[in-house]
Chains A and B, each alone.
Chain A
Amino acid sequence: MALAAEITASGILMGSIFALVALGLTLIFGVMNVVNFAHGEFLMIGMYSAFLISTFLSIEPLVSLPFVAVVGFLLGIITYYLLIRYLLRGPMIAQLFGTFGLMLFLRYLVMFILGPNPRVLHQGVLIGKSVSLSWFTFDISKLAAAGFSILLFVLVSWMIERTKLGRALRATSIDAEAAGYMGIDTEKMNALAWGIGGATAGIAGGLLANFYYITPTVGMLFIMIAFATVALGGFGSIRGAFIAGLIVGLIMMVAGYYLSQIKLAFVYLAYFLVVVLRPRGLFGW
């Protein structure tokens, strides 16, 4: 019983991080139908930014989060204005491979500059600490990451559902041309989607850096999970991304407990099943 509760709890904690990584991906896809293969690299750059800022400026990793968010936001915006904008004019195949080329470029640029060795954050209020409840212990850094993830989901949902900016974003996603006629600067809205996507990926990286190894190739693992999450929840659906993130986290923890090595294969299996049985995902439209 205690074991089941522990597996469930850690699955939910991990799942809320996966959800946060998937949030930006689903947002970008929802607004402009582009699959961002470089999203995992945004996450990786977020992790490195958190690492570099807190190591070299000796700042508490939690305090570095706003800076990491800014780095991610700028990365998203720059990607949009320098690359995506031009690719949108080309065929669909160009859109798919543009971000894919960007993925290779960013991943190996970081490896070129900082080397392939994994880094670990050693200092910080969250690192290495845990809370004990009566039957099991939580990693504080994971707990905080889950908390931030929920907070960001609420924030982004509120922005999209309730604010004028969010309405403009939704209008762009439904029909960019019509939105343009209504005086919405769709170019700016696209850039904003990339900015928010980059910022959430950056923050996810900043949180992950507290308890995960930082390597240039870490993005690959998380982008695969994020793709599975987004497909599970339905492309473009924010609520779907959150719930699917939790499901993926649970699958990984349960499968990981019994078959530690191939737990990822189970996530992909779940993805395949969803994709074949219900291509729209659980909450897609």
Chain B
Amino acid sequence: MPVIYFLIYLLTMIGIYSLLAMSLNFQVGFTGLINFGQVAFFCIGAYASSLLVTKAGAPLILGFVGGMALSGLFGYIISIPTKSLKADYWAIATLAGGEVVRLLALNEGWLTEGPFGVMSIPQPLRWLFSKDSYPLFYLFLIAACVLIIYFVLSLLTNSPFGRNLKAIRDEEDLCLSLGKNTRKLKLQAMVVAGMVAGLAGALFAHYITYISPENFKPIETFLMWAMIIVGGRGNHLGAILGAVVIQLFNVSTRFIGGYVPLGSDTMAALRMVIIGLLIVLFLLYAPEGLIRERKKVYHLKRKHIE
């Protein structure tokens, strides 16, 4: 039944990328922080968790927590320069930051095994299941994570904290003049986003069981961006929908590769051409994405509009 396993794989990857897209959306769609180094969180989460487990011999749960914590710490570090940088300058800084993380993973061989990557990463609760039923269990695990993160992020964004973040996105000066500490708020947002993406990284590492710097190239960040541009920013469902659409497209075109007389390299290139085109077309004709953000109006009285 290879089709079933393919489907399970597809859904698992959609789940992992949903987490990454929700994290990115939390930064971009809610706080207005344009992060081009999202893959760094993913990378740190994956490496931290798998190294803690394989090298330090920590229990799996500690690996996951460590991955989230370190990724959150990176969010803290990368948000420090936001105090003095304009949005586009900071965006470029994060792009460089993401590359630095990957270069470190590639070159600090004593810790990360360099280009060979970390092998035979153990899987959680592996002994409870047979070889055939384990992927299904992992899918449920990831689905549970997506659901929990969805509710946690929804709670956050509907709270006063979330309203503050949206205020920063829409009008930072106004937010400052109302006495909000926007720097601290951005910092908190980046830490939360980092932890979510770090969780995705840990889940990915323990699912694939082998990671190398090849998995964390800048192209991954671009895919996550394509997800939230297509799905829509400023709401969590949009991020998930974007992850579904882009991953379905990405994986299904790999699947039909056998029926088209093109090499796998050419197909991969064509796939990215179409995703690039999709981004441009969405920006030109549907800049809000598939699911629009529902803007709330608080305490609106008629006389105020007139």
Contact = CB atoms under 8 A, between A and B. Distances in A.
Contact of A101 (B85, B106, B280, B287): B280
Contacts of A275: 81, 84-85, 89, 93
A216 B280 CA distance: 20
A183 interface: no
Contacts, number: 119
A156 to B, nearest CB: 23
Contact of A105 (B106, B229, B280, B284): B280
Given A112-B273, A262-B103, A92 B87 contact: yes
Interface secondary structure of A, over-half rule: helix
B265 A115 contact: yes
A80 B88 CA distance: 19
B293 interface: no
A89 to B, nearest CB: 10
Contacts of A250: none
Given A105-B273, A227-B96, A262-B103, A100 B279 contact: yes
Interface stretch (A2-10, A122-130, A184-192, A264-272): A264-272
Contacts of B229: 97, 101
Given A112-B270, A224-B95, A272-B93, A96 B276 contact: no
Interface in A91-150: 91-94, 96-98, 100-109, 111-112, 115-116
Nearest to B101: A265
B89 A105 contact: no
Contacts of B104: 262, 265
B283 A94 contact: yes
Interface residues of B, number: 42
Interface in B235-294: 265-266, 269-273, 275-280, 283-284, 287
Given A103-B276, A107-B272, A227-B92, A87 B284 contact: yes
Nearest to B108: A262
A220 interface: yes
Contacts of B28: 93
A264 B103 contact: yes
A76 B104 CA distance: 35
A257 interface: no
A100 B284 contact: no
A178 interface: no
B91 interface: yes
A98 B103 contact: no
B103 A96 contact: no
A166 interface: no
A72 to B, nearest CB: 20
B100 interface: yes
A42 to B, nearest CB: 15
Contacts of B86: 279
Interface in A246-285: 261-262, 264-265, 268-269, 271-272, 275-276, 279
Contacts of B107: 261-262
A182 B87 CA distance: 31
A231 B283 contact: no
B273 to A, nearest CB: 4
Contacts of A238: none
Contacts of B91: 35, 96
Interface of B: 28, 34, 80-81, 84-89, 91-93, 95-97, 99-100, 103-104, 106-107, 218, 222, 225, 229, 265-266, 269-273, 275-280, 283-284, 287
27 contacts: A35-B91, A83-B280, A83-B284, A87-B284, A97-B229, A98-B284, A100-B279, A101-B229, A101-B283, A104-B272, A104-B273, A104-B279, A105-B277, A108-B271, A109-B269, A112-B270, A116-B265, A228-B96, A231-B89, A262-B103, A265-B100, A268-B97, A268-B99, A275-B81, A275-B85, A276-B81, A279-B86
Given A98-B280, A111-B272, A275-B89, 4 more contacts: A101-B278, A104-B275, A112-B273, A279-B89
